[in-house]
Amino acid sequence: MPKRILLTGGAGYIGSHTYVALVEAGHEVVILDNFVNAHRSVGGRLERITGKPVTLVEGDIRNAVTLATLFAEHAFDAVVHFAALKAVGESMARPLDYFDVNVGGLTTLLRAMEAAGCRRIVFSSSATVYGVPDEAPTPETAEFRAMNPYGQTKILGEQMLDWLGQSNPDWAIGILRYFNPAGAHGSALIGEDPRDIPNNLMPFVAKVALGELERISVFGDDYDTPDGTGVRDYIHVEDLARGHVLSLDRLFESGDSHCVNLGTGRGYSVLEVIAAYKRACNRDLPHTIAERRAGDVPVYVASAEKAEEILGFRTEKGLDEMCASSWKWVSNTGAHE
Ligand code: NAD
Ligand code: UFG
């Protein structure tokens, strides 16, 4: 059954891919985004991919009037909530901005949902809520450990949603803890497009492949991992997007809440990622071993069983497809603003 969905942050990296997956699943989707970390041109590109007109509202999740107007106009059945600030280092420098958008914005959104009687939400959480986990693969039962203000906002968001669900059983809440999203849409029309020098590995490698940055610094090769470099569970953004469609299906079918990891259950080291990207772009990717990055976790790998059991979610695309689609996107310069 088609549903009416509000997609906050839908012009961003994961949100834009999820928009495509939701429209392809037959849903009617309205995007709300303030473009603090997205390009306005994404609307046209989403129209090219889906062949349907896009409804993209420019506005802020912290604005209660904007939200009330949107809910009155559209009678949404559910919200998929991506809008947030997400840079760990920036959150250390500007913690109040992170609490304001990620916690305050979520509160304003939930109030608007309550007022409109819309009580189904899928929330973007992160493996960062586990801090430095005791075990890898990490199960959803691992304890919360905030390592920085960004991680703290995701923990607070989850806890707020949990208490809200306990206050009223009409709420159906899907909490999705993403591991490391990577790759781009197969059309090469949307993907990750950082405005500054990227902090994350995959977009940094992409810029070295393009020749925009000189070399990759590998942050530490003396971790307790097979080749000494950090290991992460990279998940293709199109797989991740599909996870949101399944989460919504589950909320509508069961009315029950869930909290699951979205990852592949398999980790790759920094050197393995560089080697895979090299195969994809067929260029030299100079790299040097550098100091460990402060606050880095040696290994993040998802325990992926619960998402499979509850949502029927299994990833379909591997590291080579992540690198190939990333390269196709970043080298498709015409698609960028
Ligand atoms: P992104 O920055 O590309 O997307 C976020 C979008 O939200 C952007 O389009 C931005 O313009 C918008 N936005 C920010 N503040 C807003 C506000 N106040 N009002 C309206 N719109 C606003 O980031 P992303 O990588 O697509 O991440 C989406 C979500 O997933 C975030 O909640 C993030 O914390 C979470 N997450 C991301 C990762 C990752 O590695 N990319 C990992 C785990 C969790
Ligand atoms: N790395 C390098 N060189 C770089 C960038 C990264 O060697 O230039 C290494 C890191 O040390 C790490 C691995 O590559 O071992 C991945 O680093 P990313 O910065 O790409 O990703 P993180 O796992 O450190 O962090 C990301 C998000 C966090 C989130 C976490 C888990 O930035 O917000 O994934 O979801 F919490």
Please choose, from the candidates 210, 197, 201, 103, the residue with its C-alpha nearest in 3D space to the C-alpha of residue 152. 103
Which positions are catalytic? 150
Q: Is residue 189 part of a domain?
A: no
Q: Is residue 229 part of a domain?
A: no
The count of structural domains within the chain is: 1
Q: What is the DSSP letter of 213?
A: S
Q: Give Cα separations from 188 to 173, 174, 206 (angstroms).
A: 32, 29, 14
The CATH number of the domain where 42 resides is what? 3.40.50.720
Q: Is residue 287 part of a domain?
A: no
Length of the chain: 337
> Where does 129-172 have alpha helices with state H?
149-167
Beta strands 180-182 and 78-81: pairing type? unpaired
Six-digit token string for 312: 């029927």
CB count in 10 Å sphere of residue 44: 13
Radius of gyration of the chain from its Cα atoms, rounded to whole angstroms: 19
Q: Is residue 91 part of a domain?
A: yes
Whole-number pLDDT of residue 333: 76
- Pocket, ligand 1, Cβ cutoff 6 A: 8-9, 11-15, 32-38, 60-62, 82-86, 101, 105, 124, 126, 178, 181
Q: Is residue 295 part of a domain?
A: no
Beta strands 4-8 and 28-33: pairing type? parallel
Six-digit token string for 12: 């961003």
Please choose, from the candidates 8, 244, 4, 7, the residue with its C-alpha nearest in 3D space to the C-alpha of residue 105. 8
The values of phi and psi at residue 108, to 5°, are: -60, -40
What domain range is 243 assigned to? 4-182+234-263
Q: Is residue 304 part of a domain?
A: no
CB count in 10 Å sphere of residue 320: 12
Ligand 1 probe mutation, 6, 8, 14, 90, most atoms within 8 A of CB: 14
Give, for all 337 residues of the chain, the pLDDT tens digit.
799 999 999 999 999 999 999 999 999 999 999 999 999 999 999 999 999 999 999 999 999 999 999 999 999 999 999 999 999 989 999 999 999 999 999 999 999 999 999 999 999 999 999 999 999 999 999 999 999 999 999 999 999 999 999 999 999 999 999 999 999 999 999 999 887 899 999 999 999 999 999 999 999 999 999 999 999 999 999 999 999 999 999 999 999 999 999 999 999 999 999 999 999 999 999 999 999 998 899 999 999 999 999 999 999 999 999 999 999 999 987 677 6
Whole-number pLDDT of residue 337: 64
Q: Is the CB of 300 under 6 A from ligand 2?
A: yes
Q: Give distance in angstroms: CA of 155 to centre of ligand 2.
A: 19
Cα distance between residue 185 and residue 322, in whole Å: 9
Q: Is residue 166 part of a domain?
A: yes
Beta strands 78-81 and 120-126: pairing type? parallel
CB count in 10 Å sphere of residue 26: 10
Q: Give distance in angstroms: CA of 38 to centre of ligand 1.
A: 9
Whole-number pLDDT of residue 221: 97
